[in-house]
């Protein structure tokens, strides 16, 4: 299955990590917690993020988390209304760019995969995209929800299965991963809340897959396999539930250690089952969940720093956009790296459970 192209989109509001830290500290009274904010910001590996909330803009009357100088906690209904509004704006931007740039024949898009874990409404973003772009009313739809940062690779597997289903008939699969994390800020000064506030951001990625590369001569990658591994007894390390005031996140500081001690060795086994080893991987697309996660993967897999550049660059300039992030990293590889025939590209992301999702691409 060929990766025809990837496009990305972000909200218009860019916030520096220093500014985000200062804004969060205004909402926290504890001096110890404020020091935690500074430490989380300093060690995040992030310089800038894009968000839909405008709270860091000076003299902005429409702040999401404060009114008349007083901090407020929007309830889940208000947060979901913002999610619905902005999900349509940035998803439309990403998909429109992708379809126009590739002169895609809308009638041949047989499958639509939509992915998000930061909001829900029905009919959802799939119905909106079908109507907005004139996709077939008989298009086969899959919605992947609440599977976290690894969900796009789960979507790759669904796209691969869809292509197999279509056989030799030329067909296209549109995959859209959309996350608006900034609406779930929690100001209770726990370690998990502070860490989440200092790493998560908003963004959308859209991918056009096909069982034929005829649409575009510059196609560089072909998806050849996907794998999953669910680690036992790890539910307590990553997860979230829908609360009265947005989503309540659990994000353990033990995750980098689990990745180093357990995920990296398991990834070596997965590569071996495909006749590969880490040294044979030419391009690494690692989910930029945070600097510690990237460091753990680099150490555990002995990845040279030069091959870490795409993932670290996305983390630095965009933060962690949950499921959309891996699409940003893959786009970075496509646009900044030389991909030779038979080069191996390996994408890795982690989701609640704790689960590791892996996709392997080959240069063509």
| Backbone φ, ψ for residue 234 (5° rounding) | -120, 10
pLDDT at 250: 85
Per-residue pLDDT at 154: 98
The predicted pLDDT at position 249 comes to 84
Q: Which pLDDT score is estimated for 214?
A: 64
Q: Which long-range contacts (CB under 8 A, 24 or more apart) does 247-253 make?
A: 247/118, 247/184, 248/186, 249/184, 249/186, 249/192, 249/193, 249/196, 250/192, 251/192, 251/195, 251/196, 252/192, 253/191, 253/195
* pTM of the complete model: 0.95
Q: What are the extents of the domains in the chain?
A: 221-363
**pLDDT for the residue numbered 261:** 95
Mean pLDDT, consecutive 10-residue stretches, the chain (364 aa), reads 96 94 87 91 95 81 79 92 97 97 91 97 97 96 96 97 78 96 89 90 97 74 96 88 88 90 97 98 97 97 98 98 98 97 97 95 96
Q: Which one, of 218, 242, 193, lies nearest residue 83 by Cα?
A: 242
User: Do the Cβ atoms of 223 and 3 come closer than 8 Å?
Assistant: yes
Tens digits of residue pLDDT in 125-158: 999 999 999 999 999 999 999 999 999 999 999 9
Q: Is 206 exposed, middle or buried (0-12, 13-18, 19+ CB in 10 A)?
A: buried
User: Can you give the pLDDT at residue 226?
Assistant: 97
From the list 249, 223, 252, the residue with the least C-alpha distance to 357 is 223
- The domain defined by 221-363 folds into Peroxisomal Thiolase; Chain A, domain 1 (3.40.47)
User: What's the confidence (pLDDT) of residue 216?
Assistant: 62
pLDDT at 133: 97
């Amino acid at each position: 299955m060929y990766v025809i192209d990837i496009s990305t989109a972000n909200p218009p509001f860019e916030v520096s990590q220093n500014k985000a830290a200062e804004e969060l500290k205004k909402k926290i009274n504890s001096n110890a917690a404020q020091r935690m904010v500074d430490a989380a910001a300093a060690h995040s590996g992030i310089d800038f993020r894009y968000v839909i909330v405008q709270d860091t803009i000076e003299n902005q009357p429409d702040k999401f988390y404060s009114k008349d100088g007083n901090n407020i906690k929007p309830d889940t209904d208000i947060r979901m209304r913002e999610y619905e509004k902005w999900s349509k704006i940035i998803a439309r931007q990403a998909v429109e760019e992708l379809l126009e740039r590739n002169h895609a024949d809308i009638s041949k898009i047989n499958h639509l995969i939509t992915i998000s874990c930061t909001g829900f409404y029905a009919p959802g973003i799939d119905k909106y995209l079908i109507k907005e772009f004139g996709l077939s009313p008989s298009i086969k739809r899959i919605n992947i929800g609440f599977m976290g940062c690894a969900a796009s690779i789960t979507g790759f597997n669904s796209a691969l299965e869809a292509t197999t289903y279509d056989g030799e008939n030329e067909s296209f699969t549109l995959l859209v991963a959309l996350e608006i994390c900034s609406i779930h800020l929690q100001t209770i000064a726990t370690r998990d809340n502070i860490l989440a506030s200092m790493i998560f951001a908003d963004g959308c990625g859209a991918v056009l897959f096909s069982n034929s590369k005829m649409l575009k001569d510059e196609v560089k990658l072909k998806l050849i396999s996907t794998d999953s591994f669910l680690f036992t007894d790890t539910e307590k390390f990553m997860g979230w539930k829908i609360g009265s005031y947005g989503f309540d996140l659990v994000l353990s500081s033990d995750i980098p250690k689990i990745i180093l001690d357990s995920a990296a060795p398991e990834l070596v086994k997965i590569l071996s089952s495909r006749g590969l080893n880490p040294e044979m991987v030419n391009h690494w697309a690692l989910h930029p969940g945070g600097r510690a996660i990237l460091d753990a993967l680099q150490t555990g897999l002995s990845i040279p720093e030069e091959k870490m550049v795409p993932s670290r660059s996305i983390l630095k300039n965009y933060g962690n956009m949950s499921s959309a992030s891996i699409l940003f990293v893959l786009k970075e590889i496509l646009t900044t790296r030389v991909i030779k025939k038979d080069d191996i590209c390996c994408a890795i992301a982690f989701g609640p459970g704790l689960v590791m999702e892996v996709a392997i691409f080959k240069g063509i």
